[in-house]
């Protein structure tokens, strides 16, 4: 396994972890406003990396919207291609949850 493939796999693991953490924390909050909308937004990635080991292990950086955050395709000719995009909205949701909880404690 090359360094670029290992990097994309590690990056994909971080993306899945952040998405899962945000969704589980949102799911547990019963009084959070617009909870279903925020959970759906956590599944979207924006900036990420891609690699296709069969075509020279080139590391590609891509910008755009991707749903879900990790995407793999298999082609009989080109093999496996793996794309992972960082879930920026999941990080925003985690920050908003922290602020929401702090405000809730402050107000009683």
Domain ranges of the chain: 3-107
The count of C-alpha atoms lying within 13 angstroms of the C-alpha of 27, restricted to the half-sphere facing its C-beta, is: 8
Predicted local confidence at residue 108, as pLDDT: 65
Predicted local confidence at residue 37, as pLDDT: 94
Measured CA to CA, the distance from residue 10 to residue 91 in angstroms comes to 18
Per-residue tens of pLDDT for the chain, all 108 residues: 789 989 999 999 999 999 999 999 999 988 888 999 999 999 999 999 999 887 777 888 989 888 888 988 887 777 788 999 999 999 999 999 998 888 877 776
Predicted local confidence at residue 22, as pLDDT: 96
């Amino acid at each position: 396994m090359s360094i670029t493939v290992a990097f994309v796999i590690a990056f994909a693991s971080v993306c899945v972890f952040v998405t899962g953490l945000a969704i589980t924390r949102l799911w547990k909050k019963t009084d959070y406003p617009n909870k279903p909308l925020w959970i759906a937004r956590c599944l979207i990635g924006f900036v990420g990396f891609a690699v296709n080991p069969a075509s020279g292990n080139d590391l590609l950086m891509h910008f755009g919207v991707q749903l879900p955050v990790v995407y793999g395709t298999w082609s009989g000719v080109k093999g496996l291609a793996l794309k992972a995009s960082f879930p920026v909205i999941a990080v925003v949701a985690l920050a908003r949850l922290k602020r929401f909880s702090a405000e809730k404690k402050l107000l009683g």
